[in-house]
Structure 1
């Protein structure tokens, strides 16, 4: 079974990208799932720490064989021109241990507007910058938070899916949310 590493909302922060890639390496995950908003910070957000979308894209491209990504509301066709892996799809469906993982950014589908999923499937999204791990009508609803600009007093965070357990962790490795797919 693959160990999956989930990040969202990099927003062009070179500082947090480097930090999260060190964590990815130490977690020994197989793939990086990016839930959108890789390069641009968006007009509503302040500039993130060490904002450098050009270098962020260059570093992400070195991991292109390990990345599965979806488009965020701040991502554009111009971003696809510099990123060497697909980023323009609103969602992706990934099969994991006999369940569908519906991967999306969260600006179209989210906990308040679920896609059509079967009992036991999961929607995993970013966008809100707020960690979440809950079950809603027998669907797992998960958000790993934001690595660069968390909101509502939450820490910078990421997600790990390993052995049917999804953990949202802060950048020090502390589990802040957890949900088991076996329950």
Structure 2
């Protein structure tokens, strides 16, 4: 099983296409942790900001896409997608792994995430929102934030995505393809 994991594209077409073309080839599913289209009032817009085209590309994606609603995802934006934007979280079971995908704006603290993960017996808890990467295991759950594919807030400024394949999660630098961190489930 191969899962592509992305968050915080904020309407930037290249963020999506770079992740799909470079890292998500052969994926069985793509999980998006929200803030798909709108750049948000505090975020800059880069030259590739094209939410209308991003909708078309996601709608025509040959791989199933699961999207959790982010704080910048409006109902009007959601109506453009052929797949639902799920709120407050999406719950996926893939090859026996229980996966929660939530944006992270409503479940922000580690304690809140731990409680939700325990209640839903999650093996993997994916969130976005903070535009930086997290990959750690607490208790029985791996917590992953793939960072932002478009508007990084990492100290090094690297835009990122993640892949789960053969039981290993890797966070990639979108520009270079370098593995920034990895963890075995």
What does residue 45 of structure 1 align with?
Answer: 43
Alignment of 1:1-183 (within 5 A): 2-24=1-23, 27-63=25-61, 66-110=64-108, 112=110, 113-114=112-113, 115-117=116-118, 121-154=123-156, 155-171=158-174, 172-181=176-185
Q: Could you list the runs of 4 or more consecutive aligned residues of structure 1 that deviate by over 6 angstroms after TM superposition? A: none
TM-score scaled by structure 2?
0.88
CA contact (8 A) 2:34 2:70 kept: yes
2: CA distance, partners of 1:93 / 1:39: 21
TM-score scaled by structure 1?
0.89
2: CA distance, partners of 1:116 / 1:29: 24
Gaps of 5+ in 1: none
Q: CA RMSD in A?
A: 1.9
How many angstroms does 1:24 deviate by? 4.1
Gaps of 5+ in 2: none
Cα distance, 1:176–1:44 mapped onto 2, change above 3 Å? same
1:125-150 superposed Cα distances (whole Å, 9 cap, x missing partner): 11111111101233211111111011
Q: How many residues align?
A: 179
CA contact (8 A) 1:105 1:125 kept: yes
